[in-house]
């Protein structure tokens, strides 16, 4: 699959303008391509209690399900200056949960697959394998 990373990043940058980041002053925008061809986006939404802040990846996954579901095939994330960001570990797990096998991520060190950025992950594919083999985790 040919991904126009520049165009996807532009959508993430536009999403960034909708971030609510009054505390950190660190807006984040994310964009992804879904397996049915849709492009979705999200932005971070902070909270005064900090721990309840929603990452851009969370907003993106919510958008995924609000607009028909599916699996993510390509993802990028940017800061307020348009620089590429690497999702944190929590967000990598969230993305893995909703990814198509081999989903591509634009990272600070180049394009990588979801399996490269969260090796030996546990998620729906592993649960399906357990169920197929009649086992429980």
* 6 labelled catalytic: no
CA atoms of 111 and 115, how far apart (whole Å): 12
CB-based burial of residue 12 (10 Å sphere; 0-12 exposed, 13-18 middle, 19+ buried)? buried
Which residues lie closer than 8 Å to 135 by C-beta, 6 or more apart?
none
**Which is catalytic among the residues 6, 14, 46, 57?**
57
The catalytic residues are 57
């Amino acid at each position: 699959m040919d991904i126009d990373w520049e165009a996807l990043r532009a959508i993430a940058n536009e999403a960034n303008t909708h971030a609510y980041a009054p505390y950190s002053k660190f807006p984040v925008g994310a964009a992804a391509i879904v397996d049915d061809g849709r492009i979705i986006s999200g932005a971070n939404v902070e909270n005064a209690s900090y721990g309840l802040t929603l990452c851009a990846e969370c907003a993106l996954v919510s958008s995924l399900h609000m607009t028909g579901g599916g699996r993510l095939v390509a993802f990028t994330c940017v800061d307020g200056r348009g620089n590429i960001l690497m999702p944190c570990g929590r967000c990598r797990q969230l993305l893995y949960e909703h990814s198509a096998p081999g989903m591509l991520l634009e990272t600070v060190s180049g394009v990588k697959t979801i399996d490269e950025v969260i090796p030996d992950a546990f998620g729906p594919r592993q649960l399906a394998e357990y169920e197929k083999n009649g086992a429980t985790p």
